[in-house]
Structure 1
Amino acid sequence: MLWACILLPQLALDSVLRERDDPDTPLVLIGGATQRRVLQAVNPAAARLGLRAGQTLMAARALADGFTCVEADPAQVEQVQQLLAAWAYRYSAQVSLHYPRALLLEVGSSLQLFGPWPVLQARLREELDALGLRQRIVLASNPVAARMLANCHDGLALSDADDTRTALGKLPINKVGLPTEASEAFTRMGLRQLGEVLGLPRDALARRFAAGVQLHLDQLLGLRSLGLEFYLPPDRFETRLELNFDVESHQALLFPLRRMINDLAAFLAGRDCGVQRFELHLEHVEGPDTVLKVGLLAAERDATLLFELARGRLEPLRITAPVRNLRLLAADLPAFVPQHQALFDPRAQQAQPWEQLRERLRARLGDEAVQGLRAEADHRPECAWQLASQGASGTLQAAADSRPGWLLAAPLRLSEADVQLLGRAERIESGWWDGGDVRRDYYRIETREGLRGWAYQDLAEPGPLWLQGWFA
């Protein structure tokens, strides 16, 4: 087995920055007691002002001004970790959140599907960057070793147990996850690296240190296994974003909406499913939420398409009160079936599939404005086609080019002097069972301009020709 550890050293800070559209503004995370507020993390812009983690807020304000303070929110960090576990589930069935700010993935069985480790690692980094999260990634022969090696390395790949042990031996003793008392005791003994500790007799270690120290060392070397609880994705997706200010325009909601949709797409990819309906709740300072419902005719999980659909529903909406928070809820998560395409797609590069165009039209024009057609087993032309929400195929069988592609909303009277009849008549007698009885002779016609149409003569009331449709 091969284990990858994805360490997120700035997860708390990145969880805040990914929700803001002003990354260059100096920002710090603060925590601690009310009497002594402490800077827990700073972004690069704040670091350039001389601020650093561990400073008191009072000292930071004395040193610089013009930076934004945000309260550290453990619940927000936990929400992002759950999202990452759902995302990682796409690449491995064994995903664990055993360590804080880290993901453990068993990837040995995934390499046949996703390619060699360098290819998979590059893909992981690309998607984590898109999610706005900084990372360090290490591959090792057991999960504990991968996690501890990530404290000092990034990009290290060790597929062999001997190579893993060699790399572990060079780690500083305070970076291998030992209890503080044990690491300090080893340091006082003059042991600076893990390899020096591993060289000591086991019975001597057992006499001087608690049993947990030897257990951890054995787990580092893969001699004993670590009991991991593996992640299981939930059956629904829900996320909430606090805007921290009142929003009254659609434009200001687009950036947080895009981030929430990207998180939804990552969740769907991890569960290997799509979404057919989701709700966007606009939480106001006062009054009930404004609920925006987005429904699709088929399951989708493309982030760009889902954002365009949500945006199309949001922009025509009249915001009656300032929006303070956003909440996205998706409970209808059916299986996702990718669209089948030919190896050499003849469409132009700029063209988009009909399914995506259909959903965009429905989002812009409304659900009732876009309809499909369904064929019905009826010889009367005006009854042979019916509106259908999904354009399901019917049971009518007709030879190609035997019926016009464009039927008029109402028949148009023709002058026989202006048209030429082509071929013999086709008689249609039908509808006696529903009160819409017709007896007609249909002709193919050609106008003086060369247009070809379909016209009939009513046998019940002999008279002129009536144009009912045009051929392409």
Structure 2
Amino acid sequence: MPSYYVALYFPELDAGLWERDEEGVGPVVLADGRRRIRQRGPLALRRGLELDMSLAKARALCPDLRLRPERSQRRREFLRDWAHWLYGWGPQVAMIEPWATILAVEVGSNPRWRADRRAFLQALRERAEGGPRWRWGAAPTATGAALMALSTAEADGRAAVPRRWAEVWPNLPLRLLPAEERVRELWQSLGLHSLGDLAALDDAARAQRFGPHWGEFLKIVAGAHPDPRPYFAFPETPRRELRLVRSVEDWPALRFPLARLFRELQDMLARAGLGARRWRLRLQAREAFFEDCLESREVLSDRELFLELWQRRLERHHWTFAAETIVLEALDSRPWGGRQQDFWREDLAERQEQLVEQWQARLGPEAVQTLSPWPDHRPERAYRILPAGACPRPWAGPRRRPLWLLPEAQPLEERDVRPHSEIERIQGGWWDGADVDRDYFLWRRRDGARCWVFRDRRHGGVFLHGYFA
């Protein structure tokens, strides 16, 4: 199956990330050595600031303008997150060098792309909403897809049909290529404007004038030569870190950024077909940190439940400083394809599990316990108390057992008791010194209560042992 690539290009990534991370503060620009704008965030774009505009003019138009430096580390984190998301659409995701803000994913083997690329574009728009500006392009080669993304001015993108790629790439402008300014001026002076113009030159003359690598570059764009690149690897421990614009000291301030980190981690895990049961939260300041873990019995995928469990847990273990950075890790990722729900009725078992997890988060794991059947004929010894997370034994005894079993059997007047069911005889206990010999049966009291009573065959007497619901 022939390869086909989609490239994502973020033209002004650093400025966009500054505006995103410092939301509500003001427009952001990056300047070059001539004190002119070379990058602008979405807010600066809406304010009418243009590229190559002087900073003096820009500040006159926007008094709240902020000048910020490059953020190479934050940029790499952003592209890494996008690479993990793109792995849901193709087996290979790579950064297209020498451009620092272009990613390409191989989608030729994805049947969803071949059937209808609109599904990918819709998912792409949802993923990119609220983030830095982006463009996309598609072509049979990764470098070609990058050039297609560079050649469009809007997010609608450009896609080349594979069978017509040989007609498309020669018309791409030379201004898209990552060339030195000296080489660009030389191309312009010679009347070279497109990749086709550069490809039409003699190989030896082109190498002598502009450098030997341009011939290889054109063959890679055309698909005549392979274009191997290092691919992003999925992390063993999915992790997200967020530096806060304002420090947080309580749960209401923490809730929104924690929800954002959980959504991003869930998005990454889901695209890789994974889920997580254990989550580690770390809150950091300059001279202090707080760390805690949350564990659930099943894969935790519901955001509201995740936030509620953390709220209950942090009510018991609260941090005592102003946190400046949040780190969230999925410690126990495992293959998980989601849970199929019943269309007509709610999943009662899942809701019960969620309720138990909420109690544990609020009261502590040791405060929530469960009853488990135990293989013993004697009713008062036929159960054990286990931690709520433990897996109880299946019930293998008789079905007629009361929901309410008294701590100790209470004696009754024998003349008032008449059996209203078959008698069940229980004998045993000689091995541990608590031997019993009883006949159990159902008795209806005058007030209508359905009582479970037994007659002691060894010592005599009738006793009330429990109530049926």
TM-score category, normalised to shorter length: 0.7 to 0.9
Q: What is the CA–CA distance in structure 2 between the aligned matches of 1:184 and 1:398, rounded to whole Å?
A: 90
The 8 Å contact of residues 135 and 157 in structure 2, kept in 1 or not, is answered as yes
The 8 Å contact of residues 281 and 326 in structure 2, kept in 1 or not, is answered as yes
Where does structure 1 lack aligned partners over 5 or more consecutive residues?
Answer: none
The match for 1:443 is: 441
Q: Verify: 1:5 aligned to 2:7, yes or no.
A: yes
The match for 2:167 is: 166
How much has 1:365 moved relative to structure 2?
A: 4.1
The match for 2:427 is: 429
Q: Deviations over 1:366-414 (max 9, x none)?
A: 3334444432211222332323434524254135x42234444555566
Q: Go from structure 1 to structure 2 and tell me whether the alpha carbon gap of 1:133 and 1:466 turns closer, same or farther (over 3 Å shift).
A: farther
Q: What is the CA–CA distance in structure 2 between the aligned matches of 1:210 and 1:218, rounded to whole Å?
A: 15
SS at match of 1:363: helix
Q: Verify: 1:468 aligned to 2:466, yes or no.
A: yes
SS at match of 2:277: strand
Q: What is the CA–CA distance in structure 1 between the aligned matches of 2:16 and 2:424, rounded to whole Å?
A: 73
How much has 1:96 moved relative to structure 2?
A: 0.9
Q: Deviations over 1:42-90 (max 9, x none)?
A: 3343445454555566664454323455554211111121222222222
The match for 1:397 is: 396
The match for 2:242 is: 241
The match for 1:384 is: 382
Give the stretch that moved more between structures: 137-146 or 401-410: 401-410
Q: What is the CA–CA distance in structure 1 between the aligned matches of 2:102 and 2:242, rounded to whole Å?
A: 23
Q: Go from structure 1 to structure 2 and tell me whether the alpha carbon gap of 1:236 and 1:144 turns closer, same or farther (over 3 Å shift).
A: same
Q: Go from structure 1 to structure 2 and tell me whether the alpha carbon gap of 1:155 and 1:308 turns closer, same or farther (over 3 Å shift).
A: farther
The match for 1:359 is: 357
The 8 Å contact of residues 15 and 30 in structure 2, kept in 1 or not, is answered as no
Q: Go from structure 1 to structure 2 and tell me whether the alpha carbon gap of 1:443 and 1:186 turns closer, same or farther (over 3 Å shift).
A: same
How much has 1:459 moved relative to structure 2?
A: 4.1
Partner amino acid for 2:333? L
- Of all paired residues, the percent bearing the same amino acid is 29
Q: What is the CA–CA distance in structure 1 between the aligned matches of 2:82 and 2:420, rounded to whole Å?
A: 68
Q: What is the CA–CA distance in structure 2 between the aligned matches of 1:54 and 1:316, rounded to whole Å?
A: 54
Q: What is the CA–CA distance in structure 1 between the aligned matches of 2:44 and 2:136, rounded to whole Å?
A: 26
Q: What is the CA–CA distance in structure 1 between the aligned matches of 2:58 and 2:416, rounded to whole Å?
A: 90
The 8 Å contact of residues 5 and 150 in structure 1, kept in 2 or not, is answered as yes
Q: Go from structure 1 to structure 2 and tell me whether the alpha carbon gap of 1:469 and 1:133 turns closer, same or farther (over 3 Å shift).
A: farther
Partner amino acid for 1:264? L
The 8 Å contact of residues 411 and 461 in structure 2, kept in 1 or not, is answered as no
Q: Go from structure 1 to structure 2 and tell me whether the alpha carbon gap of 1:379 and 1:214 turns closer, same or farther (over 3 Å shift).
A: same
SS at match of 1:466: strand
Q: What is the CA–CA distance in structure 2 between the aligned matches of 1:91 and 1:159, rounded to whole Å?
A: 19
Q: Go from structure 1 to structure 2 and tell me whether the alpha carbon gap of 1:297 and 1:265 turns closer, same or farther (over 3 Å shift).
A: same
How much has 1:235 moved relative to structure 2?
A: 0.7
1:336-347 equivalence runs, <5 A? 336=336, 338-342=338-342, 345-347=343-345
How much has 1:276 moved relative to structure 2?
A: 1.9
Q: TM-score, normalised by structure 2?
A: 0.85
Give the stretch that moved more between structures: 418-427 or 1-10: 418-427
Q: Compute the RMSD of aligned alpha carbons.
A: 3.3
The match for 1:125 is: 125
The match for 1:97 is: 95
Where does structure 2 lack aligned partners over 5 or more consecutive residues?
Answer: none
The 8 Å contact of residues 282 and 291 in structure 2, kept in 1 or not, is answered as yes
Q: What is the CA–CA distance in structure 1 between the aligned matches of 2:204 and 2:51, rounded to whole Å?
A: 41
Q: What is the CA–CA distance in structure 1 between the aligned matches of 2:320 and 2:114, rounded to whole Å?
A: 48
How much has 1:5 moved relative to structure 2?
A: 0.8
Moved over 6 A (4+): 349-352, 415-419
Q: What is the CA–CA distance in structure 2 between the aligned matches of 1:417 and 1:17, rounded to whole Å?
A: 85
The match for 1:65 is: 63
Q: What is the CA–CA distance in structure 2 between the aligned matches of 1:134 and 1:407, rounded to whole Å?
A: 66
Give the stretch that moved more between structures: 96-105 or 177-186: 177-186
The 8 Å contact of residues 377 and 395 in structure 1, kept in 2 or not, is answered as no
Q: What is the CA–CA distance in structure 2 between the aligned matches of 1:419 and 1:55, rounded to whole Å?
A: 99
Partner amino acid for 2:121? Q
The match for 2:106 is: 106
Give the stretch that moved more between structures: 347-356 or 88-97: 347-356
Q: Go from structure 1 to structure 2 and tell me whether the alpha carbon gap of 1:198 and 1:120 turns closer, same or farther (over 3 Å shift).
A: same
Q: What is the CA–CA distance in structure 2 between the aligned matches of 1:225 and 1:91, rounded to whole Å?
A: 21
The match for 1:224 is: 225
The match for 1:298 is: 298
Give the stretch that moved more between structures: 232-241 or 44-53: 44-53
Q: What is the CA–CA distance in structure 1 between the aligned matches of 2:253 and 2:334, rounded to whole Å?
A: 31
Q: Go from structure 1 to structure 2 and tell me whether the alpha carbon gap of 1:64 and 1:159 turns closer, same or farther (over 3 Å shift).
A: closer
Partner amino acid for 2:159? A
Partner amino acid for 1:248? E
Q: What is the CA–CA distance in structure 2 between the aligned matches of 1:152 and 1:426, rounded to whole Å?
A: 85
Give the stretch that moved more between structures: 173-182 or 142-151: 173-182
How much has 1:38 moved relative to structure 2?
A: 6.7
Q: What is the CA–CA distance in structure 2 between the aligned matches of 1:419 and 1:29, rounded to whole Å?
A: 90
Give the stretch that moved more between structures: 304-313 or 347-356: 347-356
How much has 1:426 moved relative to structure 2?
A: 1.3
Instruction: Give the total of aligned pairs.
Output: 461
The match for 2:453 is: 455
The 8 Å contact of residues 414 and 461 in structure 2, kept in 1 or not, is answered as no
